[in-house]
Homo-oligomer: A and B are copies of this chain.
């Protein structure tokens, strides 16, 4: 057998292969969940052997965790990064919501938001993937809550605003948009999601209370 053809790769080649596997795994998971990832499917898609795929991670769970880490980084780059230079408070909060809507409209994965899909999939399970998703979710909700609190302290939102409630609604609307878009085929969903977020924050024309 010729080394360099079917044998071991250089470190740089190995890293590149690993990256391809992780990207593909994350894309599969955005559609079919982290359990939709199988070693055999990845091997076929990427023209590798199963052992060639698994060797980079050691176990399927490690592969799932690597896909999750990558998808979280993509989420951060798509939703947080475009807003980070906006002034903290209301303006940055709205920039985050707009970046999120753009992310929903033109997603980096073929199945839309990876985090939303896998958060449902692992909501009631035990184990490291669940724990990592919970950590990521709590961190994101804390960041949203903090942003609302800055806006309240700056007087950009009413002092009696409930930061936890607003952060909850933003998060719920964001994840709840996926089935509207993909299952029901409503392509106005990202726009409606953004409008729902703006209403939750209080910058959209709210429907007037009648009682």
Contacts and interface: CB of A to CB of B under 8 A. Distances in A.
A interface SS class:
helix
A179 interface: yes
13 contacts: A90-B211, A117-B120, A122-B183, A130-B183, A137-B184, A158-B208, A158-B210, A161-B207, A169-B173, A172-B193, A173-B196, A174-B176, A199-B206
Interface of A: 31-33, 35-36, 90, 110-112, 116-117, 119-125, 130, 133-134, 137-138, 141, 156-158, 161, 164-166, 168-169, 171-180, 182-186, 189, 192-193, 195-196, 199-211
A78 B173 CA distance: 23
How many copies of this chain does the complex contain? 2
Closest CB pairs A-B (n = 5): A172-B176, A202-B207, A176-B176, A123-B182, A206-B206
A124 B137 contact: no
Contacts of A204: 209
Given A111-B123, A121-B121, A178-B120, A166 B134 contact: no
Contacts of A110: 124
A99 to B, nearest CB: 18
Contacts of A183: 119, 122-123, 130, 133-134, 137
